[in-house]
Amino acid sequence: MIPIRIIGFNSEKIVSIACGYYHSLVLTDVGNVYSWGNNSKGQLGMGNRTTQIRPQKIELNNNQIIKSISCGECHSLLLTTVGDIYAFGCNEFGQIGNQTINQLNPVKINGSIKFKEIASNLWLNISVAKAFDDYCYVWGLCEDQSFPTPNKTEVKSIDEIFSLFSKIKITPKPIHLSLTTNGLNTPNGLLEKMLKIFNNPKNSDMKFKIENKLIYVHKVIIESNSKYFESKSTEGTRAMRESSEIKTRDNVIEITEYSYDVYYAFLKYLYTDCIEIKSEKAIDLLVLANNYKEEELKLKCVDIIKTNITIENVCPLYCASIKYNLSDFEDFCFNFAENKINQILRTEGFRQMDENSIEKFMERMAINNVFK
């Protein structure tokens, strides 16, 4: 047997893959989900039990945008960008979460709880989700009983949930001995050491002041890991003092162009190579990365922003992609908008687009025959 290319995703890029016992799901970069394989329990979400040998797009009500997918043995879970969970397929053990029979179409799990992670495993009939308060919920076939609706636990680790509740003691994905920040892994020992010295007054030889708060760093680390600060050091301290973005007073470097949270995240990134920032501020960090010519940081910011793109914010993000010359991100925003153009044209974000961006946006839509 040799690998073959799977087609049928309408030129969308695949960002995530999930496999059940005999079925598969993929998530694309514009938030669409495609499924194929065995469908005897409705695990493909097609509204029938017909097995599919080619990928088929799953249709959701209200044009929900999916950001995460997971498969159990014969059921499937979808997590939307607003924190809702849709489930379908086998419900013999309650793994759908709020129904009593197998579900052929995606059904929303009832309740006001919003979730940020979902998990299952191809060998299991259990469903797990982590809420925004970091506590995990579990339902379906657990170790010695079945839960028909999500039950809150006192556990905050999805891996621990599987070790405690799963009938088969297997985690949903391999465990890496690493410290994770926004999905980016760094070897545990080195990261812990860097975190201990970051923003620690002891032995610090460089201070930044933003919004009347200090951040303590080490000159050698900052200059070694940032082309911007390396160039400032090369130009000399006078150039740094005269920078329009940096003001040095009493041996403290004062930053006036960026917020404390954004600059803290940037400096911490220089120590750890990881980004820790709220998604709504990632665009501000992207601006900093662009101004400081930190290309790798720009790409990582884009990855964070992509996972939180919505109908409401896609237009401002499209404008930002043009402004900062991010062609791949521009294509991503456009492809996302192309599939949801009718709703996007009614948003405040579209109405506030600048003239150049809206002209380019509408021209691309016309070329792609979106309005036919």
Buried b (16+ CB within 10 A) or exposed e, 329-355: bbebbbbbbebbeeebeebebbeebee
Domain closes at, from 175, 205, 235: 175
- pLDDT tens per residue, the chain (372 residues)? 688 889 889 888 899 999 999 999 999 988 899 999 999 999 999 999 999 999 999 998 777 889 999 999 999 999 998 899 999 999 999 999 988 899 999 999 988 899 999 999 998 999 999 999 889 999 999 987 899 999 999 988 898 888 888 888 887 877 654 444 444 444 456 778 888 899 999 888 889 999 999 999 999 999 989 988 888 766 544 444 444 444 445 568 999 999 999 999 999 999 988 888 887 788 899 989 989 989 889 888 888 888 778 888 899 889 988 888 888 888 888 888 887 888 899 999 999 999 888 998 998 888 888 776
Helix (H) or strand (E) segment spanning residue 261? helix 260-272
With H, G, I as helix, E, B as strand and everything else as coil, classify residue 33: strand
Does one domain contain both 49 and 171? yes
Check if the beta carbon of residue 242 is closer than 8 Å to that of residue 231.
no
Quote the domain boundaries for residue 317: 309-372
Does one domain contain both 57 and 130? yes
CA-based nearest residue to 89, from 129, 54, 125: 125
Domain closes at, from 107, 142, 175: 175
With H, G, I as helix, E, B as strand and everything else as coil, classify residue 73: coil
Domain closes at, from 141, 175, 209: 175
Query: CA-to-CA distance for 193 and 349, rounded, in angstroms?
Result: 43
CA-based nearest residue to 133, from 121, 120, 117: 117
Query: CA-to-CA distance for 177 and 184, rounded, in angstroms?
Result: 12
Check if the beta carbon of residue 281 is closer than 8 Å to that of residue 261.
yes
User: The domain that contains 270 carries what CATH number?
Assistant: 3.30.710.10
pLDDT at 372: 64
Buried b (16+ CB within 10 A) or exposed e, 220-259: ebbbebbebbeebbeeeeeebeeeeebeeeeeebebeebe
